[in-house]
Each structure stands twice: as C-alpha cells, then as structure tokens.
Amino acid sequence: MLKPPCNNIDDVANPVSMTCLQGSPWMNTAAVPLLATGKRDFLNSATKLSNSDNFHPNLNLFPYYNAPNVTSRCDTTSSKHCTVAHLSVSHNAYSKFNETALGRNTELAATEIMAKMKSSSFIHLAAGDAHTNFYDLDGSRT
C-alpha cells in the first residue's frame, strides 16, 4: 500500500512516519547526488552528501522555510569524514478532475513533482570548496 505524502506545513523536515511518506526517495538516491557531484567530486574525498527530501503542499508560499537548505557544512582542511546534510523540497501536483470523476476523495498519483534543491556550487561551498565556481558547476545547465 502506498503512503500519502506527509505535507507537514509546520516544519521544514517532515517526520519519519509509518503512515505517510516523508519525501521522494528518488530525490535522496538519484537526483540530488547526481546534480550536486555529477560534474565534479568534492575536494575532500572523505566528504559525503546526504539528502532528506520533504513533501510540502504546492500552494504553500508562506512560511518561506519550505525551501531547500544545507543544515551541516564541512571543512576541507580536515581529512576526517564529514557529511554535508541537504534538505530538498518536493511539491506534488494532482489532477483533481481525474480523481473526483472516479468518485475518490483522495488523489491516487501526482501528475508532476516540482523539486527544489540548492545549486551544485552552493553544495560544493558547504563541502568546503572555497574555489567553487557557479558557471563551471551550474552555468551550463541553465
């Protein structure tokens, strides 16, 4: 059985729950790692990236904290293992017409997912790479 998204509007990070889905597993395992380190690995090879994706309702403009964020940073002068913790946000868009035509009260599947994350250069800065360049890491993607 699929779990509905948590859509917690009171906090950035949704709770880990048995009754709802915190965020998109694909964002945690594929999208953010690929976009953050796809062009260049972190300078400190001991630095790792962890992502926590969180579903939030698409209509929420406020509070503004439903935005991507980096919650822990690393220092390149240290050779110790360090993890850059990143929070991404996903907004599900549903087609209410299709679901209500079937006589259901809740949506079955999102028609699209809008995902928000920090730029690759911002994540590299958080990893301690002081010489990161937006145009090298992100500029060719726009």
Strand-pairing partners, residue 86, are 51, 70
- pLDDT over 60 at 101, yes or no: no
pLDDT in the model for residue 42: 87
The C-alpha atoms of residue 110 and residue 101 are separated, in whole angstroms, by 16
Q: Which two tokens stand for residue 74?
A: 């690393």
User: What is the pTM (predicted TM-score) of this model?
Assistant: 0.80
pLDDT in the model for residue 109: 74
DSSP structure class, residue 3: P
124-64-39 Cα angle (round to 5): 20
- More confidently predicted of 112 and 12: 112
Burial track 72-99 (b if 16+ CB lie within 10 A, e otherwise): eebebeeeeebebbbbbbbbbeeeeeee
3-state secondary structure of 13: coil
CA 126 and chain centroid, separation: 15
User: Residue 69 burial by CB count (10 A; 0-12/13-18/19+): exposed, middle or buried?
Assistant: middle
Q: Let me know: does 89 contact 58? Beta carbons within 8 Å.
A: no
33-86, pLDDT tens digit by residue? Answer: 998 888 888 888 888 999 999 988 766 555 555 788 899 998 766 678 899 999
